[in-house]
Chains A and B, each alone.
Chain A
Amino acid sequence: MLVSDRGGVVMAGSGTAHMRNTVDSVLTVRDLTIEFRVAKDKIVKAVSGLSFDVIRGETLAIVGESGCGKTTLARAVLQLPPPNSGEVVLDGTDLTLLPKENLRSARTSMQMIFQDPISSLDPRMTVHQLIDEPLEIWDRGTRAERDERINNLLNNVGLEPELVLNRRSYEFSGGQCQRISIARALALDPRVLICDEPVSALDVSIQAQILNLLQDMKDQFGLTMVFISHDLAVVKAVSNRVMVMYLGKICEVAPPDVLYAKPAHHYTRALLDSVPIADPTRQKKTELLQGEPPSPMNPPSGCRFRTRCHAASVRCAEHEPELQEVAPGQFVACHHPIV
């Protein structure tokens, strides 16, 4: 159940220095806060005062471990369910202010790909019905036009229409289901595609196929993407900008090559050091991040990462760090960034 937390102290937020505020931004999120009441007096602070913008044709990757709020954030952007406070501006329209009926049509320009390819398709429907569904809701074209569109979409995602149209989702492998989901998401010509861990349920050899397909579809349909993942290697392959999250806040925003080469936030560095490297001759011997993230019901004061950060000082507990630019395009919310 969503509750508002107006009574509580509004925290400084993670800052807005990384916002580019250009006319080209397709999706702008400002000061978004999402909280869930799980029991009396127990409020999960999933996302706290978070802002970001995505520019036309860009892929913004959101990285973080489980419980950092990345999936909740993606759903709140789609207003499923809406956030407690903050703005979600899509092409100049603030979705949080729209009446229900207008929101319904505004949503079509933003589609989502889910993690579990099988549970995101209704098991009772054939592939034809699945992809026809969005077209039918919005009455796009005649029966013949719609059928042609369905065939084109299936061809686009690399499936043979004749072979798959009349089969149901459980007859397909995870990779094929993900292709069907992508075809369905593209049916309404969305502007923004939000991918929530689209390949983490897939086998390694299938994962690359789907990542390449997403890239191709992005180019072909001129999409802007938000790509959520816990896998830093996957993120690097697909993104133009990476946003690292920890306990509902932004730690660092930077272009991938900069971020991976010179992480400025201690958490980003710890994440990168934890990624196993598929080369026995290049094993790192580094200090591992100890412990596990604290509960989002009772996040630490100041910097939320300070309880596990070896560089933490008194200042980190007292003042929340704001995002600041440490290198061109690289923004970090840390009092003691790595330089």
Chain B
Amino acid sequence: MRKFTKPTWLAISWLSLMMFFAIFGWALPFKSWNFVYEDDLEVGLFSNGHILGTDSNGYDLLSSIVAGTRMSIFIAIAAVGLGGLIGSVLGITAAYVRGKVDTVMVTIFNVGLSVPNLVLALALVSVLATNVDINQAVPTWRRVMVLIMSLTIVLIPILGRIARGATLSWAGREFVTAARSMGMRDRKIITKHIVPNVLPALIAVAFLAVGVVIIAEASLSILGVGIPDGASWGGMIARGRNDLEYAPHVLYVPIFFLALTVISTNHLGDVVRAQLDSREAKV
């Protein structure tokens, strides 16, 4: 393994911390994120045992952040994982089979890409995650599922195209022809020769996609179709907007976490990309 640069180590450390929050956040000695500290409304950073302060509801921001990390990271990984899986299956198949299948798939991808991401997600969430009876709250899990689904749909054509492009270039290599001439089955050629070579390119883009999804989730929350009341970074930003004048930290804290996470995933995406390029250059 090559030595990483300092920024890369920073990005890895930050994402590790976020993963720790997401997985082991429940074990940290916090009260529930929505426990109301009635005596400490809108206190600043590092006050009264609230490292990141509280907001106007009296919620502790650190425990909100930890809970929000879980939600944001879960949504991001689930959406990118599902989108990547479906997208790569479709993309790889299309590029390997070629012909009509490919034409149809490319058309579908292009149509998907031409619809603005946020508009699509917004439409899906507002149709699928609302109740006829306005007074009855939509369960959080349902909102989360719909959110993941809509983001997945947005990601499929993006990752699918990447997978298709990479497959096209690898399937043309002579070792694939060689495998065929040895009598290898197509299914096995795909799993053994195509997928492992396409994967690095997909992983590089998946890192970028995680960042995109985190921001998309936040944007949807700000537009009011995110996780209702649930702690997510987007939800915190949405709530913090109202306090900007009196307690700007309520807004800046989640923004800081979100920004640093997105910068880290983007940076790691670039690192993976660069590793990939240097490996390609050797091949």
Contact = CB atoms under 8 A, between A and B. Distances in A.
> Touching in the complex, A and B, CB below 8 A?
yes
B179 interface: yes
Interface string B240-283: 00000000000000000000000000000000000000010011
A105 B193 CA distance: 20
Nearest to A109: B183
B197 A133 contact: no
A1 B99 contact: yes
Contacts of B185: 104
B174 A116 contact: yes
B180 interface: yes
Contact of A122 (B98, B175, B183): B175
Contacts of B183: 104-105, 107-108, 134, 137-138
B29 interface: no
A114 interface: yes
B197 A137 contact: no
Contacts, number: 65
A309 B185 CA distance: 47
Interface in A154-176: 169-170
Given A114-B174, A119-B173, A119-B175, A124 B182 contact: no
B182 A170 contact: no
Contacts of A111: 181-182
Contacts of A123: 197, 279, 282-283
Q: What is the size category of the interface that chain A forms with chain B? A: 20 to 34
Nearest to B179: A133
Nearest to A104: B183
Contact of A114 (B99, B178, B282, B283): B178
B154 to A, nearest CB: 31
Contact of B181 (A78, A105, A119, A122): A78
Nearest to A75: B177
B116 interface: no
Q: What is the size category of the interface that chain B forms with chain A? A: 20 to 34
A241 B98 CA distance: 38
Interface in B161-186: 173-175, 177-185
B196 interface: yes
A170 B282 contact: yes
B14 to A, nearest CB: 30
B175 A80 contact: no
Given A122-B193, A123-B197, A107 B182 contact: yes
Contacts of B193: 122
Interface string A82-112: 0000000000000000000000110110111
A124 B98 CA distance: 24
Given A104-B183, A170-B282, A112 B196 contact: no
Contact of A134 (B174, B182, B196): B182
A170 B283 contact: yes
Interface string B90-115: 00000000110000000000000000
Contacts of A21: none
Interface in B133-187: 173-175, 177-185
6 contacts: A1-B99, A80-B177, A105-B183, A108-B183, A119-B175, A133-B179
Given A110-B181, A137-B182, 17 more contacts: A1-B98, A1-B99, A78-B181, A104-B183, A105-B183, A108-B183, A111-B181, A120-B173, A120-B177, A120-B178, A121-B175, A124-B197, A133-B179, A134-B183, A170-B282, A170-B283, A185-B178
List of 10 A-B pairs having minimum Cβ-Cβ separation, nearest first:
A120-B174, A134-B182, A114-B174, A104-B183, A123-B283, A170-B282, A122-B175, A119-B173, A108-B183, A119-B174
Interface of B: 98-99, 173-175, 177-185, 188, 193, 196-197, 279, 282-283
